[in-house]
Amino acid sequence: MTTVTAPPPGKRRRREIGRAPQDTRGNWSTYLALTAVLALSAFPLYWMFVIATSTDEAVSQTPPSVVPGNQLLTNLREVFTMQDVYFTASLINSFIVASVVTVSTLFFCSLAGFAFAKLRFKGRDPLMFVVILTLTVPNQLGVVALYILMGKLGWNGTLLAVIAPFLVSAFGVFYMRQFILNSVPDELVESARMDGALTLRIYWSIVVPAIRPALAVLGLLTFVATWNEFQWPLITLNGTEFPTSMVALSDLASGNYVIYRRVLAGAFMATIPLLVLLVLGGRQIVRGIMEGAVKS
Amino acid sequence: MSLTHKAPPVVPQDSEPHPPATPPKHKLWFYRFDTKRTPYVFISPFFILFAIFGLFPIVFNGIVALRTWRLDDPDRNGWAGFDNFERLLHDEDFWNALGNTFGIFILSTVPQLLIALMVANLLNRKLRGTTWWRVGVLLPYVTPIAASTLVFAVFFSRDNGMANWLLSLVGFTDLGDPLDWRAYKWSSWIAIATMVNWKWIGYNALLYLSAMQAIPKDVYEAAAVDGAGPWRQLWRITVPMIRPVVIFTVVLSTIGGLQLFNEPMLFEANPAAATGGSNGQWQTIAQLIYKVGWKDLNLGYAAAMSWALFLIILIVAALNAFITNRLGGGRR
C-alpha cells in the first residue's frame, strides 16, 4: 500500500488532504470496490434462485450453471407437497409469530420507553440500568431451563412457546426511550397533563404520533429477527405439525438423499418476504442499525 | 436526528396552560394515582416477561445443572452435586467442541471486522445513491441464516460444488479428486467461517459507518499538517476515533460467535443429527449442548455445559475488549 501513502505532488492532491472522508467524492475505484462488495453480497441469493429454478441435471453439471432455469413451479410444488415438512403451514406460522411479536414489542417497548423517558417515578434510573444489563445476557444460557418451563406450561410444540418469550425486548425499550427523549417535548407532556389528560391518553395522542418513524424502524428489525429465529423454534417445535419456516427448512434439508433444487426452492420461498421488506423499508432498517450504533 | 421537531398537532394549544379548577375529591385522588402508579404499570410488562422467560430460566438452569435430569427417564432424578461439571472436565467431546468453536470464531471474527472496516471506509464518501449502497450491503443481514447456510452447504459440496470448481480454475484442486470440505477440520472451519463472514460484514460496516460520520471534520484538517494520505488517515485517525464502536462490535461478535449454532447445524448433510461432521470436525459448543440435551436427552448435563459456555463467553468478551482497547492505542 505504499503507493497510496506516498504523497504525490499536485494541486488536486493537496486539496484532498485534510478533507474529511465523508466530504471526499468517491472516485471510480470506490464505485468499483463497492460494486464488488454488492455482487458478493447478492451472489448467494442469486445462486439460490438459479438452483431453485433448475433441474437435477442442471444442478450437477460442471461448470455449474449460473442462469436460472424454468422449473421453479415444479420445484415449489414438490416442496409444498412434501410429507412431514408442513411447508405451507410453516409459512403461515412464521407470519403469525413474527406479526404478533412485532405488534406486541412495539406496544410494550414504546409504553416502557415513554415511562423511562418522560415520566418521573421512584427508582427510574436503577430500573433502566437493569434493562440495559439484561441486554448482555447470552440467550444460550437459559435454553435448557426455558424448555423445562415450557413443558410445565404445556406450551412446547405450540406457537405460544416461540411467541411468549419475545413479546418485549430490552433493546426495544432502550431504543424507544432514546427516541422519545429527543422527539417528544417535555412542555407538550406537561401542558397536556395540565389540561387533565391521563397518562395513557398522553401516550396515545402525543407520544405515538411523534414516534412513528421509530416504530417503523423497530418493527422492521423485530420482524426480520423473529422470522429468522432458528435455534429455539427448532428445540421446541421440531417434529410437530406446527413448525416455523426455518424449522421446516431444516426438515427439508434432512434425510439420506437431499435434493438441492428442492431445498433451495424452499429457502427461496422463506426468503422472499424479507426481501420484500428490505425493498420497502430498507431505508428504515439502515437507519435503525446506524442509530443503534451511535447510542450504544 | 433530523426529524425531531415535528410537533404532533393533537393537543389543542389554544387554551393557555391554566391551573385546573379544583376538581371533586375522588377525581383528585384518581389523578394522583395516575401520576404515581401509571409509570410502573407501563414498565411492568417488560419486567414481568423478563422475570418469567429471562431471569427464571437462568436461575433455574443453575439448579438443573446440579441435578440428574433426563428426558428419557424422568423418574431418575435427584441432586447430582457437581457431577455434571466434573464430567465436563473429562469429556473429550466438550474439549473438541471448545476447540472448534474457537477456531471458527477466530476465522470468522477477524476477517469480518477488518473487511467491515474497509467497506465502511468505502461507504464513508460522497456517493451517488448513498441509501442504495447501504441497503445493498444489508442483503446478507436480512437473509434468513437457515436459507443462506443451505446455499453455502450446496456451494461447498464435494461433487459438483461451486467452491471446488472455482478452486480448480486457479489450479488449487483437481475436479477428478475434489476436496471434501466436510471431511477435515480446517476445510469445514473455513466453509463455516465464510458463511458467518458473509452474513455479518455489511451489518458491522454500517455500525462503523455511523461512528465514522460522527467524527468531527476538523480532526482531519488538523491531521493534514503531517500529510496523511487516505490509508494512513484511516488507520491513524478514523479507527482510533471510532474505538468505542470497534470494542462494541468485538464484544458483540464474541458473544455471537461463541454461541454459533445455525451454520454448523445446517452445514451437516443430515442436520437432525447435530454431530458436526462424522467425527465432530466442526461441532460447536452450542451444537453439542443441543445434542446432549435433545438427542441424548440429558438436560442436566446440557445445563452444566450452558454454564460453562456462559463463563467462557464472559471471560473471552472481557479479554477481547481489553485487547482491542490496547491495540487501538488506548493506554489511558
**What's the pLDDT score for residue B332?**
41
Q: Which residues on adjacent β-strands are paired with residue B174?
A: B177
Pairing label, strands B78-79, B67-68: antiparallel
What pLDDT shows up at residue B227? 66
What is the rounded CA–CA span in Å between residue B160 and residue B147? 20
| Averaged pLDDT for residues A75-100 | 91
User: The dihedral of CA A68, A70, A72, A75: what is its sign?
Assistant: negative
A39 in reach of chain B (CB within 8 A): no
Nearest to A23 among B126, B160, B245 (CB): B126
Residue B10: pLDDT band (50, 70, 90) is very low
* Residue A18 binned pLDDT confidence (cut-offs 50, 70, 90): low
Average pLDDT of chain B?
Answer: 85
Residue B222's pLDDT band, with cuts at 50, 70 and 90, is confident
Same domain, A49 and A142: no
Position B328 pLDDT exceeds 70:
no
> Helix, strand, or coil here: B146?
helix
pLDDT at B192 over 70: yes
Cα B75 from chain centroid?
38
Q: From B11, which residue of chain A is nearest by alpha-carbon distance? A: A192
Give the pLDDT confidence of B16-68 residue by residue, as tens digits: 455 555 656 677 777 888 888 899 999 999 999 999 999 999 889 988 888 88
pLDDT of A135 above 70: yes
Are residues A150 and A42 both part of a single domain?
no
* Same domain flag for A46 and A141: no
pLDDT over threshold 80, residue A6:
no
Q: Is B249 a residue whose pLDDT tops 80?
A: yes
For the cut 50, the answer to whether the pLDDT of residue A69 exceeds it is yes
Residue type, A222: T
pLDDT band at residue A139 under the 50/70/90 scheme: confident
- Residues A36, A122, single domain; the answer is no
Q: Per residue in B110-128, pLDDT tens?
A: 999 999 999 999 999 888 8
Residues of chain A found within 8 Å of residue B39, distances taken between Cβ atoms: 115, 119-121, 124, 199
User: Is there a single domain that holds both residue A159 and residue A45?
Assistant: no
Residues A201 and A250 in one domain: yes
Whether the CB-CB separation of B215 and B240 falls below 8 Å is answered with no
Mean pLDDT value across residues A269-295: 85
CB contact under 8 A, B270 and A254: yes
Higher pLDDT among residues A153 and B25, named by residue? A153
Q: Looking at beta carbons, which residues of chain A come within 8 Å of B10?
A: 205-206, 209
Q: Which residue of A has its CA nearest to B300?
A: A144
Q: What percent of chain B has pLDDT over 70?
A: 89
pLDDT tens track for A208-236 = 999 998 999 899 999 999 999 999 999 99
Distance CA(A93)–CA(A226), nearest Å, equals 12
Q: Is residue A160 part of a domain?
A: yes
Q: Do A91 and A245 touch, CB atoms closer than 8 A? A: yes
| Residue-range domain boundaries for chain B | 86-327
Residues A60 and A176 occupy one common structural domain:
no
pLDDT of residue B217: 83
133-162 of A, contacting B, C-beta below 8 A: 134, 136-149
Residue of B nearest to A228 (CA): B144
Least CB–CB distance from B139: residue in A42, A108, A146: A42
Q: Does the beta-carbon distance from B151 to A289 stay under 8 Å?
A: no
Chosen for mutation from B29, B32, B46 (greatest number of chain A CBs closer than 10 Å) is: B46
Whether A20 and B217 lie within 8 Å, measured CB to CB: yes
Range of the domain at A47: 26-70
Q: What is the pLDDT of residue B224?
A: 67
Question: By the CB < 8 Å criterion, does A35 face chain B?
Answer: no
Nearest Cβ partner for A250 among B36, B135, B266: B266
Identify the residue whose cell numbers are 423418574.
B75
Q: Which residues of A touch B210 (CB under 8 A)?
A: 289-291, 293-294
Q: For residues A224 and A288, state if they share a domain.
A: yes
Q: Which CATH number does B86-327 carry?
A: 1.10.3720.10
Q: Does A195 touch chain B (CB under 8 A)?
A: yes
Report residue B288's pLDDT band, with 50, 70 and 90 as the boundaries: very high
Kindly state whether residues A286 and A185 are assigned to the same domain: yes
In a domain, A10, yes or no: no
CATH code for position A264: 1.10.3720.10
Tell me if A17 and B228 make a contact (CB, 8 A cut-off).
Answer: yes
Q: pLDDT higher for B18 or A29?
A: A29
Closest to A30 measured CA to CA, from B205, B126, B237, B137? B126
The position carrying cell 417535548 is A185
- Looking at the fold, whether A101 and A248 belong to one and the same domain comes out as yes
pLDDT digits (tens, 9 = 90+) for A120-130: 999 999 999 99
Q: Concatenate the DSSP letters of all residues of chain A into one string.
A: -HHHHS---SHHHHHHTTS-GGGSBP-HHHHHHHHHHHHHHHHHHHHHHHHHTS-HHHHT-SSPP-S--S-HHHHHHHHHH-TTT-HHHHHHHHHHHHHHHHHHHHHHHHHHHHHHHH---TTHHHHHHHHHHHTTS-GGGGHHHHHHHHHHHT-TTSHHHHHGGGSS-HHHHHHHHHHHHHHS-HHHHHHHHHTT--HHHHIIIIIHHHTHHHHHHHHHHHHHHHHH--HHHHHHHTTSS---HHHHHHHHT-SSS--HHHHHHHHHHHHHHHHHHHHHHHHHHHHHHHHHHHH-
pLDDT at A58 over 60: yes
Instruction: Judge: B262–A230 Cβ closer than 8 Å, yes or no.
Output: yes
> Residues A185-205: what's their mean pLDDT?
90
Please give the pLDDT value at position B201. Answer: 96
> Do A94 and A36 lie in a common domain?
no
Q: What is the ipTM of this complex?
A: 0.85
* A145 and A273 belong to one structural domain: yes
Q: How far is B228 from chain A (nearest CA, A)?
A: 7
Q: How many beta-carbon pairs under 8 angstroms link A with B?
A: 380
Mean pLDDT of B288-306: 91
Query: Which of A190, A246, A282 is closest, CB to CB, to B146?
Result: A246
List, for residues B141-173, the tens digit of each pLDDT value: 999 999 999 999 989 988 878 888 888 888 777
What's the number of domains chain A is made of? 2
Residue A17 lies in a domain: no
Contacts of A200 in chain B (CB under 8 A): 38
pLDDT > 80? residue B181: yes
In a domain? residue A5:
no
% of chain B residues with pLDDT over 90: 41
CB contact under 8 A, B131 and A124: no
- For residue A141, which residues of chain B lie inside 8 Å, CB to CB? 57-58, 61, 306-307, 309-310
| pLDDT in the model for residue B225 | 62
Mean pLDDT calculated for residue range A253-274: 88
